[in-house]
């Protein structure tokens, strides 16, 4: 049930009307309609069972748990809104929210711009695009745990290659992995290493931009930047928006890279405040401290934050994003 690539955006649920013309609403389905419906439901049944057991019930139950104290061993005891009150005063909640917010706000724009830049470059490369595209995508295959290892090694303040390269141009690099101020920037930078899938998505969109738009822009005397700003970006705004939304949701749920690099199992001797993200704190509370009720409340907080941000993005996108279908 994990999605490797971030989930695609919901489309209007009208997909089915492709071939069926306008359907008459009938009070009672005919026998053939009923047969067809039953056949369909048989095929769909795995999802229905999964939805009830692994989505609907967990949502309701986690809402209930968030109002209780529960340690898995003893029965949950109802405590009302205590968990939420506790959350408001818990400095770690504020800290993890702050960390997550800072990370996402910096990571998403940077990631999108880098992906766009690389996609534009690839779009210029004629025959060799395939080779480079492969090269860009390979890091995406690296398990996030190993990405965490690479972060610790490549960004090592003393011996890391990153600081070595920086020293070639006379910059003394920071202690990326130990200095509290540089831990999040390090995590952002290593996340750019796995930008490949976004590059591929944007490149596919770039290739869909009709050439005559560029020709027209050229005739009007538009230079490269002007063409990029006035033609390319609007034409691929749908794909850009997709990359932004998916990355925002992923950013808010940042876990594995930071956890593998900065948090130990059980006896966390090197617990690191600068890398304490929401999901990491949730994980610690839920599965290490067995504060299941409190962790459920944290999950709901995160859920609400993600939803708010996504809704804002959707509203903004209505004004900014152009979809090809709109004109037809």
Q: Which of residues 44-83 bind other proteins (CB under 8 A)?
A: 44, 46-47, 49-51, 53-55, 57-59, 61-62, 65, 72
Q: Which of residues 299-318 bind other proteins (CB under 8 A)?
A: 299-300, 302-303, 306-307, 310-311, 314
Interface residue with other proteins, options 156, 191, 247, 248 (CB under 8 A):
156
Distance CA 163, CA 233 (A): 34
Residue 228: closest CA among 124, 126, 105: 124
SS3 of residue 78 by DSSP? strand
| Pair of tokens at residue 95 | 């800290």
Distance CA 197, CA 246 (A): 12
Site string for other proteins, 124-153 (x = CB under 8 A): xxxxx-x-xxxxxxxx-xxxxxx-xxx-xx
Interface residue with other proteins, options 205, 258, 274, 275 (CB under 8 A):
205
Interface residue with other proteins, options 17, 77, 167, 180 (CB under 8 A):
17
Looking at beta carbons only, is 18 or 80 nearer to other proteins? 18
Task: Find the shortest distance in angstroms from Cβ 294 to other proteins.
Answer: 10
Q: Which of residues 223-262 bind other proteins (CB under 8 A)?
A: 238-239, 241-243, 249, 252-253, 255-256, 259-260
Interface residue with other proteins, options 81, 88, 113, 161 (CB under 8 A):
161
DSSP conformation letters of 80-119: TTHHHHHHHH-HHHHHHHHHHHHHHHHHHHHHHHHHHHHH
Distance CA 300, CA 65 (A): 10
Q: Which of residues 18-37 bind other proteins (CB under 8 A)?
A: 18-20, 23, 29, 33, 36-37
102 binds other proteins (CB under 8 A): no
Q: How far is CA 74 from the centre of its chain?
A: 36
| Pair of tokens at residue 306 | 């993600």
Residue 252: closest CA among 99, 136, 118, 132: 99
Task: Find the shortest distance in angstroms from Cβ 106 to other proteins.
Answer: 19
């Amino acid at each position: 049930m994990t999605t490797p690539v971030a989930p695609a955006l919901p489309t209007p649920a009208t997909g089915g009307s492709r071939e069926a013309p306008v359907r008459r609403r009938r009070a009672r389905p005919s026998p053939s309609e009923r047969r067809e419906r039953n056949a369909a439901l048989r095929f769909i049944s795995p999802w229905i069972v999964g939805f009830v057991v692994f989505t609907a019930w967990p949502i309701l139950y986690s809402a209930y748990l968030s109002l209780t104290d529960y340690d898995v061993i003893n029965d949950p005891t109802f405590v009302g809104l205590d968990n939420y009150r506790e959350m408001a005063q818990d400095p770690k909640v504020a800290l993890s929210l702050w960390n997550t917010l800072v990370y996402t706000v910096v990571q998403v724009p940077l990631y999108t711009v880098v992906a766009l830049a690389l996609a534009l470059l690839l779009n210029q490369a004629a025959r060799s695009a395939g080779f480079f595209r492969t090269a860009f995508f390979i890091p995406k295959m690296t398990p996030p745990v190993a990405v965490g290892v690479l972060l610790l090694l490549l960004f090592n303040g003393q011996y890391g290659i990153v600081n070595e390269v920086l020293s070639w141009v006379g910059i003394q690099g920071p202690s990326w992995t130990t200095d509290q101020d540089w831990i999040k920037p390090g995590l952002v930078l290593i996340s750019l290493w796995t930008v490949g899938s976004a590059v591929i998505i944007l490149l596919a969109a770039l290739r869909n931009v009709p050439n005559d738009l560029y020709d027209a822009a050229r005739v009007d005397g538009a230079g490269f930047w002007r063409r990029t700003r006035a033609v390319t970006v609007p034409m691929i705004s749908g794909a850009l928006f997709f990359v932004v939304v998916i990355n925002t949701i992923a950013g808010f749920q940042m876990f594995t890279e930071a956890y593998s690099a900065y948090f130990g199992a059980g006896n966390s001797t090197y617990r690191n405040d600068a890398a304490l993200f929401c999901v990491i704190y949730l994980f610690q509370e839920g599965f290490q401290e067995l504060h299941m009720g409190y962790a459920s409340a944290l999950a709901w907080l995160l859920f609400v934050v993600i939803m708010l941000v996504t809704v804002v993005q959707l509203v903004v996108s209505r004004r900014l994003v152009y979809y090809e279908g709109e004109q037809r």
